[in-house]
Amino acid sequence: MEHFKLNVVFMNKNSLIVFLVAVLFFSSCTKREKLPNIIIIFTDDQGYADVGVFGAKDFSTPNIDKLAEEGMRFTNFYVSEAVCSASRASLMTGCYAKRVSIFGALMPWTTYGLNPEEVTVADMLRQKGYTTGMVGKWHLGHDKEFLPLQNGFDEYLGLPYSNDMWSVDCDGKPVGPKSEKPWKAQYPPLILIDGNKNVDTIATLADQATLTTKYTERAIRFIDKNKDRPFFLYFAHSMPHVPLGVSDKYKGKSKQGMYGDVIEEIDWSVGQIVETLKRLKIEDNTLIIYTSDNGPWLNFGNHAGSAYPLREGKGTAFEGGVREPTVMKWPGHIPGGKVCDKMASTIDILPTLAEITGAGIPGKPIDGVSILPLMKGKQDTTPRDEFFYYYNGELRAIRKDKWKLFFPHNSRSYEGMKPGKDGCPGKTKILKVGLELYDLENDPGERNNLASQHPDIVENLSIIAGRMRKKLGDKLTGIKGYEVRPPGRKNTERTKKINHLAIGKKVIFGNSYNQKYTAGGDSALNDGLRGSLDFNDGKWQSYRDEDPDFIIDLGKETDIEEITCSFLNNQRAWIFLPVKVDFMISADGKKFNELKHFEQPAERDYKQYVKEFTFKSGPVKTRYVRVIANSIDSLPQWHPGAGKKAWVFVDEIVIK
C-alpha cells in the first residue's frame, strides 16, 4: 500500500484549508500503520524530586518508575511558567503563555480564558480522527465558552480550576471572619463538571479525598470505550495541590506523611491506566507522557514536595519552579531505560505529536519544536537550545545550552522562611534578583553567580532575549510584543468600536491617570473603544492616587443630547465604582455649569460589571464637557485590602 498525502494546515479552529488528502491503494498485502493512542498525565505542584527515579524519599512510585524503566526519563524538561493556568495554556497550545495572554492562576471570577481561536492539542488530534477526552483540572477559563468541550475535547470530567479555590479554611472548616484569609469566603462553590454541566460540589476535605479515584475510574471508562479507535486522554490530576486529599486506600501508607500518601495514590492511578492498556492489548500502541505543571509549593511544609537539588519552587523562575520530573514510554519507539539530559519543554509536546501523527501544525506562530528525535534516543540532536523563562508577563531569565541568565526582578522566595504545617501555609519573602549568570551543568542549584566572569556570555544572552522581547514583550522593560495574541473574553459585544461626537477631540486632564493601566494614554477616553469585563484588556484607563477629572473640547459649540461615562466594578481586584460623578458643560472652558450629579454608595458587591452613568435631554449647546469622578477614600473594613487605596477604571466618554 502506498500513501500520498499533504498535511492539514490549521488557519484557525473554525477554518481549515485542506490542500490534498489522497490515499491510493496498490496492494492489500500491507496494513496501514495505526495511529498511536496518546495519554498525557499532568500532576499539580509535584516537585522534581517527588518521583522514585528522581530521588523521592519516604514514599515510593513503582508504577511511574516502571514507565521510566521501560521508557525514557527527561532531566531537563521544563514547563513554560511555574504557575497553574499559564503552564496549562502552554501545554495545550505549544506556545509560551505570554504569546496567548494567559497569566498566573485564573480565578473563579476571572472573565477571560483560553481563546477558542487557539488550536489545542485536542483540536489538532481530533482533525486526525482521534477521540479526545479529559479528566481533572482544566484551569483555562471556567465559563462555558472556555471549557474543554469548546476546546477540542469530546468529553470532560473535572474541576474548572484549582482545588483550593473554595470557601474552606486550611483546617477544613468554613472560612469565617477570624480566618487567616477571610476574603476566601467570597469563593463560589467548588463544582465538579461533567461535559458542560455542574454535577457535584466538592465541599469538604472528605470530598477532596475522592478526586484521584473518581478521575481514574472515568479515565479507565474512556479508554475502555475507545479501545478500537485512536484516542487522546489528557489526565490532569488536582493533586498534590493543597488541600491534599487521599482515599482510605493510601491514607497513612507512606513514611513521609500525607503528601507521600497522595503521591503514592497518583502512582496507583498510573498503574491502573497501564493495567487497563495491557488488559485491552493496546499498551504497545500507546504513548504515555508523565509530568507536572510546576514545582512544589514549598511554604506548605509537610504538605509540599521537594525540588532537590534545584533551587526554590512554584511561582519562581528558578529551576525548582519550572524543571519537572518527566517520563515517557512508547514501546517500539522510545528505547527503554534511557535518560535524556537535553533541554525540552511542555511547549514541545504539540509539535511532537503533530510529527508523530502527521497532523498539521497550527497556522499561527507557536514556540514549540518537535523532540521526537530525542524520544527515539538520538542524543546527538538538539531540537531545543534556548528557553525563555517568563512569569506573569515578565521575561525573568533565558537559558542557552548550559548557561542561564537572570534579568533583574523581584521573585517570590521560600528560603529562610518557616514553612507551614498540615495544610496551612507559612510565609514567603520577596527576593531581589539581579543580573545573574549560572552554569546549570555544574551548578543546577543556581548558587554560583558567574556574570562578572563571563561578560561575553551575558551580552550574547541579552541580545537573544532582546529579540524575544520584540516578539512576545516583557513587563519588566515595558515592551509589548508584536506577536502576542489576545485571550478569549466575555462581553466582547461591548468592545466593538463606536462612533460619537467626542472621537478624536482634545482631552484636557485635570488629574493624571495611573501608568499601570493607561489604555493607550491621552486618547483613551475618546477613541471609540470600550472595555470588556477584563480590566487587562487594554481599554480601561486607571486612577488610584488621584480622581478622574477630564474635559473634552469639541472644538466649537455643538448641540448635544447625551453624555455617557462608563466605570468598571471588580471589587476583588480592588476596582470600585466612584461614589460621586458629575457631568458639567461650559461654553468657554472656564466657567462650568453642572448638568447631572450622581451618587453611588460603596457597598459590598463582588459582581463584575460595567456601570454606565448617562445624561439625556433635549439639545444642549456647549463646547466643553467635563467629567469628575470621586473615588472612595480607602478600601472599606470588610474588604481584604482594608485601608489601602482603591482603583477607579474608566473607558470612554461618549457624547451624542
Confidence band of 618 (pLDDT split at 50, 70, 90):
confident
- 3 among known catalytic residues: no
Q: CB neighbours of 590 closer than 8 A, spacing ≥ 6?
A: none
Selection from 235, 209, 232 nearest residue 138 by Cα: 235
Phi, psi of 145 (to 5 degrees): -65, -15
Residue 419: cis peptide before it, omega within 30 degrees of 0:
no
The percentage of residues in the chain with a pLDDT greater than 70, rounded to a whole number, is: 95
In this structure, are residues 92 and 121 in contact, taking their beta carbons and an 8 Å threshold? yes
Phi/psi of residue 347, nearest 5 degrees: -70, -15
Question: Which CATH architecture describes the domain 2-394?
Answer: 3-Layer(aba) Sandwich (3.40)
Distance (Å) of CA 423 to CA 67, 241, 369, 466: 30, 10, 39, 41
What integer best gives the mean pLDDT of the chain?
93
- Whether residue 318 contacts residue 70, with contact meaning beta carbons closer than 8 Å, is answered with no
Helix (H, G, I), strand (E, B) or coil at 363: coil
Q: With beta carbons less than 8 A apart as the criterion, state whether 13 and 123 touch.
A: yes
- Confidence (pLDDT) at 7: 42
Q: Which three cell numbers mark 50?
A: 517527588
Q: Give exposure, 268-307, as e/b (b: 16+ Cβ within 10 Å).
A: bbbbbbbebbeeeebbebbbbbbbbbbbbbbbbbebbbbb
Q: Which of 3, 29, 84, 142 is catalytic?
A: 84
CA dihedral 598→599→602→605, nearest 10 degrees, is -50
Domain-wise residue ranges, the chain:
2-394, 491-655
Q: How far is CA 310 from the centre of its chain?
A: 23
Q: Which CATH number fits domain 491-655: 3.40.190.10, 3.40.1280.10, 3.40.50.1480, 2.60.120.260?
A: 2.60.120.260
Give, as one character, the DSSP assignment of residue 151.
T
Q: What are the pLDDT digits (tens) for 174-210?
A: 998 888 888 888 899 999 999 999 999 999 999 999 9
In this structure, is the dihedral angle defined by the CA atoms of residues 85, 89, 90 and 96, taken in order, positive or negative? negative
Q: Is 499 helix (H, G, I), strand (E, B) or coil?
A: coil
Q: With cut-offs at 50, 70 and 90, classify the pLDDT of residue 638.
A: confident
Instruction: To the nearest 10°, report the CA torsion of 61, 296, 234, 169.
Output: 110
Mean per-residue pLDDT, 141-159 = 97
Q: Is 95 a catalytic residue?
A: no
Q: Which residue has the cell 514501546?
A: 331
Is residue 16 over pLDDT 80? no
444 preceded by a cis bond (ω within 30 of 0):
no
- Strands (E) located in 462-503: 488-489
pLDDT, position 77: 98
pLDDT over 90, % of the chain: 86
CA distance 318 to 431: 12
Residues in the chain: 656
Looking at residue 184, what is its pLDDT?
Answer: 87
DSSP 8-state symbol, 504: T
pLDDT on residue 239: 98
Total Cβ atoms within 10 A of residue 425: 20
Does residue 24 surpass a pLDDT of 80?
A: no
Residue 385 to residues 48, 76, 397, 464, 512, Cα–Cα distance (Å): 21, 11, 14, 12, 45
pLDDT digits (tens, 9 = 90+) for 402-435: 999 999 999 999 999 999 999 999 999 999 999 9
Neighbours of 518 (CB within 10 A): 14
User: Of these residues, 95, 139, 303, 340, which one is catalytic?
Assistant: 139
- Residue 357 CB-density burial (10 A; 0-12 exposed, 13-18 middle, 19+ buried): buried
pLDDT at 9 over 80: no
DSSP 647: B
* Interacting residues of 614 by C-beta distance below 8 A, sequence separation 6+: 562, 563, 564
Contact 162, 105 (CB under 8 A): yes
User: 223 burial class (0-12, 13-18, 19+ CB within 10 angstroms)?
Assistant: buried
pLDDT in tens, 46-60: 999 999 999 999 999
User: Cell for 546?
Assistant: 488621584
Distance CA 509, CA 494 (A): 25
- In this prediction, residues 69-95 reach a mean pLDDT of 98
Close Cβ partners of 89 (under 8 Å, ≥ 6 residues apart): 80, 95, 97, 100, 102, 114, 140
What would the pLDDT profile of 558-576 be if each residue is shown by its tens digit? 999 999 999 999 998 999 9
Q: Where are the alpha helices (DSSP H) in 244-403?
A: 258-279, 319-322, 349-357, 372-375
Q: Are 133 and 231 contacting, i.e. CB atoms less than 8 angstroms apart?
A: yes
Cis peptide before 182 (omega within 30 of 0): no
Spatial contact of 480 and 603, defined as CB atoms under 8 Å apart: no
CA 370, 372, 373 angle in degrees (round to 5)? Answer: 110
Q: Name the grid cell of 343.
A: 533541554
Residue 654 identity (one-letter amino acid):
V
Three-state secondary-structure class, residue 4: strand
The SS3 of residue 354 is helix
3-state secondary structure 529-576: CCCCCCCCCCCCEEECCCCCEEEEEEEEEEEEEEEEEEEEEEHHHCEC
Confidence tier at 493 by pLDDT (50, 70, 90): confident
Q: What's the pTM?
A: 0.89
**Residue in this structure with the C-alpha cell 486632564, named with its chain if needed:** 509
Q: What's at 615, amino acid-wise?
A: F
The Cα–Cα gap between 355 and 438 comes to 34
Q: What is the DSSP string of 192-231?
A: EEETTEEEEE--SHHHHTTHHHHHHHHHHHHHHHTTTS-E
Q: Is 434 exposed, middle or buried (0-12, 13-18, 19+ CB in 10 A)?
A: exposed
Q: What average pLDDT does the segment 328-337 reach? A: 97
pLDDT tens sequence across 468-488: 999 999 999 999 999 999 999
Q: Which residue has the cell 514545582?
A: 295
